[in-house]
């Protein structure tokens, strides 16, 4: 088949079968081999493996139980991550938007991985380019390449032009032939390079990594000191090795990484059950920190799609219905506005054949076509096509009711389109009513801030930025068209949840601010009546822009570039910003936000850049998304306090024992018992418990302020109990038992503090751990297995008394540090 035939009809089935397919790694999960390597081949596992072997060789097998715990940790970690991987992979398949191709002369929908080299791929507004190629058809095709090049303006593409994967169509229609697919595509190469050198920022992950790094450097010299001390002062080589291993193993927070992985994995699975796809694991952390949620009204507060409400002619003798029918049938990929008009006028009228056309774009906020002898017709936002007058005022009144308002105009000639900021035709942001500074309740404050500035490409008077003379002799308003928007039934309750949780909601829309304000006021969003027209904002003064964003809740006529500026300005004021959207004009803001959330029915480009995708398109899922993030992060902080308290008391004990040259106060089997009852088992429950606390920055300092004083005081109690018992005639095992009692009681109290606020199940948890330890002391088999011999009552009472004093000191210390949960 020659090239002309391929361009016209696409590949044949035979050609597709032998062509290179578009196989790329999925962004949402890592491979099985990567999961196994991450859980098995760690520095801590290597250290513990060597220590395990030493105990098996020179000590008693009961002291090697800590090795089985590590095996269990590895298996649990792998299983949980595999569960999360299966969930993510299934949801990722659902999230993949099919690609329109032409094969054997027929249009088909295929999965992204079924696209092959040489395929003829069809483009419409909102379509993401998955592969590189050469344009062969263009009908006003405009492609946004800002994510690749940083160029803000969409590029007009003509046959012969190159297009790159990672860009997306914002207006018009066209087709291109795939020239590079799979890992050869430009965007995939960029992603591979980025993944080699960069990971998304995560304070939690970096904090845990820093803990492990510094602890590793401490374990090496302290462990060497402890081994030297035990070997020098012990007549029994096996006892010396066992004592040294007990100190080194206890220093290692081996379960911290496991609990972090489990918490993330379980969070992914829980969100997956709600049809929520987490494409980047650090997004779970971002969910917990969000304090500002920016919503795009269309597709978020309002459901997808609209209904044509009224068509109000402004005079007699104009073919209003014929013009609307013809305009709505121009695009093969109609946006929501065109679909609503088509439902009323299902077929184009005879004699209305378009010559030159201008596709709709929310940067232009109008579309049009020249129908020859029937004239040029435009359909778009009144404040772009009109400049005052009765029609303008009438449209403004209708917009104030919350309706989406368009004006149908007749023009002498079709205005030439100009490239503008990135936009989307899919969300219909440009099709709402008029706006003016006089209609807003707070226009004076904005005018003062504006000081005569406007964002690039946006003008407030005279002519539109794209060549349409407002109110001039060339444009005549013929009819006003209103569309009804469907407010989501769950929007009110969802917004109330965010208000209760201290998350500030900002409505950022391309629509008329008065119309947006009317909807937001009906949903009881605070300060919704104070709307701002974004064209009046001081785009070149980030500080003033940030102040206005903090003090207002509703912003209309926001351009795609301004959405991006809004996110940056809010972040500069210390906010953690989540941005939701469904249209291509939301892509840049979603990319820059701390957390980008896309709706499942949104454009492929939007879903591609978002970290979280609500596949069921339900706004009511957002509270569960935020709640899951808070649960994960708050609970990881809890278990970090547990594990690092253990690490610090082991470091202090090892240093003191090494310097003093005495026996270590307990054996590995003792630490296995106490760690299981005060850290391991409780951590499993605490890591998965629900919580409504919003996480704040400062994870590492908060954990250190708790773990360091708690660890030091636990170590002091253990050593005092050991030395107090040692001063008598008791045996080494009896002395170690006194130390174990003190160790359990002090670390159990740490558990009580971390588990607060106490409810019925947390009380049951801490009480059952105490009961298990007490029962273990009374059962002969358990006492023998764990080498526990309480000896005289005096030693036990002394250990209990020292522990009570230490518990009171720990409570006072953490309260002073401001880390006690109440």
**Active site positions, annotated:** 296
Q: Are 565 and 540 in contact (CB under 8 A)?
A: no
Q: Other CB atoms closer than 10 Å to residue 100's CB: what's the count?
A: 18
Q: Which two tokens stand for residue 341?
A: 């008009």
DSSP 298: B
**Lookup: tokens for 41:** 């081949």
For 684, phi then psi, to 5°, come to -60, -40
Secondary structure (DSSP) of 542-578: HHHHHHHHHH--EEES--HHHHHHHHHHHHHTT--EE
**For 539, phi and psi rounded to 5 degrees?**
-65, -25
b/e code 269-306 from CB counts within 10 Å (16+ = b):
bbbbeebbbbbbbbbbbbbbbbbbbbbbbbbbbbbbeb
Reading the block at residue 783, the tokens are: 């006492």
Could you give the CA distance from residue 677 to residue 234 in angstroms, rounded to a whole number?
30
Q: Per DSSP, which regions of 616-725 are E strands?
A: none
What is the C-alpha to C-alpha distance for residues 464 and 450, in angstroms, rounded to an integer? 19
HEC readout, 721-753: HHHHHHCCCCCHHHHHHHHHHHHHHHHHHHHHH
Which helix (H) or strand (E) segment is 174 a member of? Answer: strand 168-180
- Residue 370 β-bridge partners: 376
Residue 429 CA to residue 511 CA, distance in Å, equals 5
Phi-psi region of 783 (alpha: psi -120 to 50; beta: other; left: phi over 0): alpha
For residue 556, the cross-strand partners are: 533
Cα 688–chain centre separation: 19
CB 463 within 8 A of CB 416: no
CA-closest candidate to residue 557, choices 484, 459, 481, 462: 459
CA distance 744 to 247: 16
Distances (CA, A) of 571 to 50, 180, 545, 563: 47, 37, 12, 13
């Amino acid at each position: 088949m020659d090239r002309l035939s391929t361009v016209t009809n696409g590949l044949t089935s035979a050609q597709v079968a032998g062509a290179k397919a578009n196989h790329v790694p999925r962004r949402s999960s890592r491979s099985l081999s990567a999961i196994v390597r991450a859980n098995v081949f760690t520095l801590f596992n290597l250290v513990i493996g060597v220590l395990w072997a030493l105990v098996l060789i020179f000590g008693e097998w009961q002291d090697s139980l800590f090795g089985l715990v590590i095996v269990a940790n590895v298996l649990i970690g792998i299983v949980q991550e595999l569960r999360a991987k299966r969930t993510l992979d299934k949801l990722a398949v659902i999230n993949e938007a099919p690609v329109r191709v032409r094969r054997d002369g027929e249009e088909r929908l295929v999965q992204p991985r079924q696209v092959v080299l040489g395929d003829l791929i069809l483009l419409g507004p909102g379509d993401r380019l998955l592969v590189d190629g050469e344009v062969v058809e263009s009908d006003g095709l405009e492609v946004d390449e800002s994510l690749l090049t940083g160029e803000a303006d969409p590029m007009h593409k003509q046959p012969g032009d190159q297009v790159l994967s990672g860009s997306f169509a914002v207006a018009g229609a066209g087709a291109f032939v795939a020239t590079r697919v799979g890992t050869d595509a430009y965007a995939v190469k960029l992603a591979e390079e980025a993944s080699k050198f960069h990971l998304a920022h995560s304070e939690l992950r970096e904090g845990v990594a820093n803990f492990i790094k510094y602890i590793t450097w401490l374990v090496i010299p302290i462990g060497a000191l402890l081994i030297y001390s035990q070997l020098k002062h012990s007549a029994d080589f096996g006892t010396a090795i066992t004592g040294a291993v007990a100190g080194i193993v206890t220093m290692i927070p081996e379960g911290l990484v496991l609990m972090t992985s489990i918490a993330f994995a379980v969070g992914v699975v829980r969100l997956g059950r709600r049809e929520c796809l987490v494409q980047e694991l650090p997004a779970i952390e971002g969910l917990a920190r969000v304090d500002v949620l920016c919503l795009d009204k269309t597709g978020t507060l309002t459901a997808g799609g609209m209904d044509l409400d009224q068509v109000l002619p402004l005079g007699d003798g104009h073919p209003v219905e014929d013009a609307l029918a013809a305009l709505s049938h121009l695009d093969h990929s109609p946006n929501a506005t065109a679909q609503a008009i088509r439902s009323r006028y299902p077929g184009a009228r005879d004699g209305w054949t378009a010559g030159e056309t201008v596709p709709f774009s929310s940067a232009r906020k109008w579309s049009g076509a020249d129908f020859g002898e029937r004239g040029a017709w435009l359909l778009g936002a009144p404040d772009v096509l009109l400049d005052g007058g009765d029609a303008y005022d009438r449209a403004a009144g209708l917009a104030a009711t919350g309706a989406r308002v368009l004006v149908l105009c007749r023009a002498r000639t079709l205005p030439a389109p100009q490239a503008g900021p990135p936009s989307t035709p899919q969300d219909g942001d440009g099709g709402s009513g008029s706006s003016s500074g006089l209609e807003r309740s707070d226009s004076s404050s904005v005018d003062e801030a504006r000081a005569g500035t406007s964002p690039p490409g946006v003008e407030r008077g005279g002519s539109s930025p794209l060549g349409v003379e407002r109110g001039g002799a060339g444009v005549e308003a013929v009819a006003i068209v209103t569309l009804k928007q469907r407010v989501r039934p769950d929007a009110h309750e969802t917004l109330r949840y965010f208000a209760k949780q201290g998350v500030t909601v900002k409505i950022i829309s391309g629509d008329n601010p008065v119309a947006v304000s009317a909807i937001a006021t009906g949903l009881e969003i605070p300060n919704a009546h104070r709307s701002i027209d974004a064209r009046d904002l001081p785009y070149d003064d980030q500080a003033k822009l940030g102040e206005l964003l903090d003090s207002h809740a509703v912003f209309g006529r926001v351009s795609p570039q301004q959405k991006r500026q809004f996110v940056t300005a809010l972040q500069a004021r210390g906010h953690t910003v989540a941005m939701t959207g469904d249209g291509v004009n939301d892509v840049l803001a979603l990319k820059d936000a701390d957390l980008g959330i896309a709706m499942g029915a949104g454009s492929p480009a939007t879903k591609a850049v978002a970290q979280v995708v609500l596949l069921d398109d339900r706004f009511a899922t957002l509270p569960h998304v935020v709640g899951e993030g808070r649960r994960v992060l708050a609970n990881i902080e809890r278990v970090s306090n547990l594990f690092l308290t253990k690490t610090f008391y082991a470091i202090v004990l090892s240093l003191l024992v090494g310097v003093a040259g005495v026996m270590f106060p307990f054996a590995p089997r003792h630490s296995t018992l106490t760690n299981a009852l005060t850290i391991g088992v409780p951590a499993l429950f605490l890591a998965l418990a629900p919580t409504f606390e919003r996480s704040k920055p400062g994870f590492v300092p908060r954990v250190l302020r708790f773990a360091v004083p708690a660890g030091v005081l636990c170590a002091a109690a253990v050593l005092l109990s050991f030395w107090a018992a040692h001063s008598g005639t008791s045996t080494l095992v009896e002395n170690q038992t006194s130390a174990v009692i003190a160790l359990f009681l002090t670390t159990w109290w740490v558990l009580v503090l971390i588990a607060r606020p106490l409810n019925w199940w947390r009380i049951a948890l801490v009480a059952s751990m105490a009961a298990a330890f007490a029962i273990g002391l009374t059962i002969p088999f358990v006492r023998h297995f764990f080498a526990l011999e309480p000896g005289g009552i005096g030693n036990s009472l002394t250990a209990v008394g020292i522990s009570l004093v230490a518990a009171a000191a720990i409570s006072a210390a953490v309260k002073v540090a401001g880390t006690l949960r109440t």
